[in-house]
Amino acid sequence: MDSRRVQPWRLWVGIVVCTIFLGWQPEHVAAQDGARIRDHLYAVHMFSPTEVWTVGSFGAIYHSKDGGKQWTKQDGKVIEPLYGVRFVTEKEGWISGKSGIILHSTDGGATWEKQVSGTTHHLFNLTFLDNQHGVAVGDFGTIVVTSDGGKTWQDKTPGEDVFLYAVQMTSSGKSWIAGERGTILVSEDFGQSWQKKATGTEATLLGMSFANDDWGCVVGMDGTILQSADGGSSWKPYESPVQTALYNVIIDGQKGWAAGDEGVILTSNDGGKNWSLVDAPEELSLYWIMGISTVQQGAMGVLTGSNGLTLQILGNTVDFDSRFKRH
């Protein structure tokens, strides 16, 4: 198996396999160029044009203070894979990971403390609206919710055995979850209760982004793209320009980005209504991309993926040259 290209049916299987194949990586404490990171990077959160965090294999946590050019490794005191990261201020943030791990920092990631999630299931993603309200999701339909900043987490698992990969919450208290077998769950009360919505697909849905309480997109296996104009109550398929697995999507103002296996990157200039394939270096096909985060209406962002891949989004373009030098 080529450890650089993982095409998982259930995403956690691919993550575990990659972790075993790459083995332990030495810890670096000095700032380093993104090209020198070797950990698989599963998620990224860009809080501001300068402050960015990304997490990945073997407990890897990296922090950038210059928008993703240079990275410093932080010590979360865990060696398990970390799958999701979210900051609500430059100082306070959370990370989710394997076997129910949730880490919390109040000093910008200089130190991390474990929170008791109440589950041993893998938590593939999490979101926080503010420093109180958060939701984390994972395998076997796991949903845990907090309304006190993670001091306590409540089990809101609906009971269906589907892996859940994406979650988002807006200031109105509306929340969405996406996962296996075309699963979409919607909450109107900060994640306290969930209703399943019909999607018309059995495809595994891996990434999701709502621009507001009404308009959103989800992406998944085989290039699946679904769109909703009514807050997730109903979904329509969009004819995808690719058949490659799409792992994540973000809509920020009129700008949209999606990415997945074989280095595929899609872009939208109309808020996710239409998508086109980004022309990328051939070398990028050896990587997968799972992390996407943007700020300033999508004008700045970071993409992260396998083998330490980090790419900066600058305006309407992706900066490939800093990673893949042209000859």
- pLDDT per residue as tens digits for the range 284-325: 999 999 999 999 999 999 999 999 999 999 999 999 999 987
Amino acid occupying residue 234: S
Nearest to 153 by CA among 115, 186, 210: 115
Task: Please state which CATH class domain 11-319 belongs to.
Answer: mainly beta
| Residues 205-224 pLDDT 10s | 999 999 999 999 999 999 99
Can you tell me the distance from the alpha carbon of 182 to that of 200, in angstroms, rounded to the nearest whole number?
A: 7
Determine the longest span between alpha carbons in the chain, in angstroms. Answer: 55
Structure-derived torsion over alpha carbons of residues 29, 31, 33, 37, reported in degrees to the nearest 10: 20
pLDDT at position 6 over 60: no
Please report the sign of the dihedral spanned by the C-alpha atoms of residue 82, residue 293, residue 139, residue 288.
Answer: negative
Query: Which DSSP symbol is given to 130?
Result: S
Enclosing H/E stretch for 16: helix 11-22
Query: Would you state the pLDDT for residue 31?
Result: 61
Amino acid occupying residue 316: N
In the chain, pLDDT over 70 holds for what percent of residues? 89
Q: What are the tokens at 228?
A: 């909703």
pLDDT at position 202 over 80: yes
The residue-averaged pLDDT of 143-162 equals: 94
Q: Are 226 and 170 in contact (CB under 8 A)?
A: no
Query: Which DSSP symbol is given to 322?
Result: T
Q: What is the pTM of this model?
A: 0.90
Q: What is the DSSP string of 292-314?
A: EEEETTTTEEEEEEGGG-EEEEE
Look over the chain and give the mean of its residue pLDDT values, rounded to a whole number.
Answer: 91
Amino acid occupying residue 197: K
Mapped onto helix, strand or coil, the DSSP state of residue 77 is: coil
| Residues 188-201 pLDDT 10s | 999 999 999 999 99
Q: What are the tokens at 207?
A: 């990434």
Query: Would you state the pLDDT for residue 28?
Result: 40
Q: At residue 179, what are phi and psi to the nearest 5 degrees?
A: -165, -155
Query: Would you state the pLDDT for residue 261?
Result: 98
pLDDT at position 167 over 60: yes
